[in-house]
Structure 1
């Protein structure tokens, strides 16, 4: 299960795998450098102690030390190049561990003496493997850590078996006399025939346990790495999506408004609010388009609608949809604002002026009142829309403008906020499909 999960963390995220591979290579170089320095320090210490004691180390030990040093230098220069292979790190750690095992099995405990080789296991011990296994963690490969522990136990057992195989007599802890005293203990432990198989088993268990714990720690570190990478990618993706959405919304609303829309998802949840609906339409557009090439008509229309959307945005309104040669915009939804009636009326005035500069006559209907607003559509595609009697009234007011020869046609709710644009009361009128008569206020250009 552990291997299957670890395989997934490097296959489901190619970018993460590449980043982790670079980190592994850097860690492996550091591990190789550390082990080479450690071998150099140990060799210097070993040679120095031997010279001071008048017992230089055996030639075989020199050969092992030189070979390990050259192996480290070669590996360091190869890691990360085209000659690097997946098995290289396993090979160098195996070589280090097996070289140590060879020292225990073949290098005399004291040069020029006949001390039994079994004393090498008593004088030193399995703890010499712990730094190597710890350095394997630097490679960020939990498999290498486990491999190092397994090779250490196997090599340790093989070296021990090699040493004791020709011993004519072997003593174990079971040979300790009953009610033994200190002398009995010293006699048994210091005996050249004492092998202590139980000690070797315990030591092997310690190595495997340590390797397992360190491998688990490395594995957890890798999982944390991928979790952080996934979180960072999600953050970047979300930021990109927000910027994309802001860029699109920014065509119709101010940047600050677009950011609020993107960041505040509640603004798009269906809700009811008091607001203003603006419906604008180009008067006589069919006559304008008649006889002109379609591309010219579309270009002129796009130019006008682009300026119109910018105008709505400048007054903090939101274009809900384009209606052929016009548009429908809202004020106070989905973006809350103060005095939406005043903003809508000012926007209508600017839209009419903009249309005149482009040789268009524009009619704008403005209605205030309750609006039902929110996102509608399928699970895969949705659109923000507004609906209700206020929307219908704004559309009917725009149509009524043709009969009244007015550019802006507003209801009383909008007209009451007029302090800069003078509206004229044009009597009460019936609106198609809406019961009752409504006071209508109009504005005409000079």
Structure 2
């Protein structure tokens, strides 16, 4: 069904984000619990400090178990269980951990401390797992835990003094008598705390939901971008397709580059003897092998023109040694056609290589663009390819290409300074050594 690959990729991306986020939450939780344990050990009196610290360290160790269940069928269950355990632990601290080891301090006064704030820390940690359901679960566990701790404390009280015991217009003494009573338990305040935890939970879950949508959109966009790039890369150089899909257009370039123009000799006569489908298969087979050679040498096949193609070195991909790369690619292409047959036929190539300034970029109308090269260097490469007919050679290179070659590549034969058709200026021309077939003009 359409869209299913995108959905699958998005879900995989979300699962990975959840897993990384939960791991971060566990690491943060472990560090916080260890810090709290040492806090209780140093600031509270013995033996309560040891009891509380021991419980905290045990909870820290238990929290590491879900990390061992990653990618198992119990992975999600372990996450829910861990945050439920944290909420239960915070509730137990609220209900059972004494305020002081020095006497029988009423447990209801625990609400005067900051222990209820532990619930907010637990809810905040659950956000890292990027699961709205987990956030809501954690918030509900916190509220249930707060309510359970409050109910447990109420059951242990002889009587309860609450804000409802204040008169309609309480005096200062009335307020002090209620708020400072050892039996005071602000039930409305506890209700408000529970509602605030639920509100924070809902806001956090909504934020996580929006974050998940962003992850889905990014994953779907990446899949679509790769799909377009794969399709688009069939018609333009893959490197150009990548830049186009990222930026929408390719910035114009003006640089010195080496151009290779290759054409199949006698292709018209050959194609007249073959069915069209065999001609296409032969071209596809040859172009596939030739493109692989150009790619391996660091060039880019810019365009296929009938039975010919044009490749660029140092445009759009940078390559400082572009003359060497272009000439070596020409040698490889000539070796390819001498050693391999395509659809049962041996092919021969004529190649022209020129080096010089050129302009490169995307051109076209509003609805359609193409990547192309402009300049005298491009024209010279084409003219040199055609000039092979006159010299009986397979590959001619320009003087500027020859001048840019590394010394180990200087195995070329000077053909003289020639007036190339279509150019006002003459050009020094060289033939690759060993590539001259015969000296007579055909």
- Please state which band the TM-score falls in when normalised by the shorter chain: 0.5 to 0.7
Contact 1:134/1:214, CA 8 A, preserved across alignment: no
- List per-residue Cα deviations over 1:56-76 (Å, max 9, x = no partner): xxxxxxxxxxxxxxxxxxxxx
* SS of structure 2 residue aligned to 1:441: strand
Corresponding residue of 1:271: 253
Larger radius of gyration: 1
Corresponding residue of 2:401: 414
Taking structure 1 as reference, are residues 440 and 420 closer, same or farther at Cα in structure 2, changes over 3 Å only?
closer
Corresponding residue of 2:427: 438
* Structure 1 counterpart of 2:322, from 340, 345, 357: 340
Correspondence 1:311 to 2:298: no
- Aligned-partner Cα distance in 2 for 1:181–1:220: 40
* Structure 2 counterpart of 1:327, from 292, 309, 323: 309
Corresponding residue of 2:356: 369
Cα RMSD of the aligned pairs, angstroms, is 5.8
Corresponding residue of 1:141: 136
Q: Which range moves more in the overlay, 293-302 or 35-44?
A: 35-44
Q: Tell me the matched-pair count.
A: 333
Corresponding residue of 2:167: 173
- Aligned-partner Cα distance in 2 for 1:413–1:135: 70
Contact 2:338/2:347, CA 8 A, preserved across alignment: yes
Contact 1:252/1:309, CA 8 A, preserved across alignment: no
* SS of structure 1 residue aligned to 2:320: coil
* SS of structure 2 residue aligned to 1:286: helix
- Aligned-partner Cα distance in 2 for 1:135–1:320: 58
- Aligned-partner Cα distance in 2 for 1:181–1:39: 31
In the TM superposition, 1:186-225 aligns within 5 A as 203-205=187-189, 207-209=191-193, 211-213=195-197, 215-216=199-200, 219-220=203-204, 223-224=207-208
- Aligned-partner Cα distance in 2 for 1:310–1:181: 91
Corresponding residue of 2:385: 398
Corresponding residue of 1:162: none
Structure 2: which 5+ residue stretches go unaligned? 1-9, 19-73, 98-105, 127-133, 155-163, 438-442
- Aligned-partner Cα distance in 2 for 1:37–1:427: 91
* Structure 1 counterpart of 2:371, from 356, 360, 384: 384
- Aligned-partner Cα distance in 1 for 2:122–2:401: 76
Corresponding residue of 1:429: 419
- Aligned-partner Cα distance in 1 for 2:204–2:94: 32
What is the TM-score of this pair, normalised by structure 1? 0.54
In the TM superposition, 1:107-186 aligns within 5 A as 139-141=134-136, 145=140, 172-174=166-168
- Aligned-partner Cα distance in 2 for 1:292–1:181: 109
* SS of structure 1 residue aligned to 2:412: coil
Corresponding residue of 1:352: 334
Contact 2:259/2:311, CA 8 A, preserved across alignment: yes
Taking structure 1 as reference, are residues 409 and 264 closer, same or farther at Cα in structure 2, changes over 3 Å only?
farther
Alpha-carbon offset, residue 354 of structure 1: 2.1
Structure 1: which 5+ residue stretches go unaligned? 1-12, 46-121, 160-169, 191-195
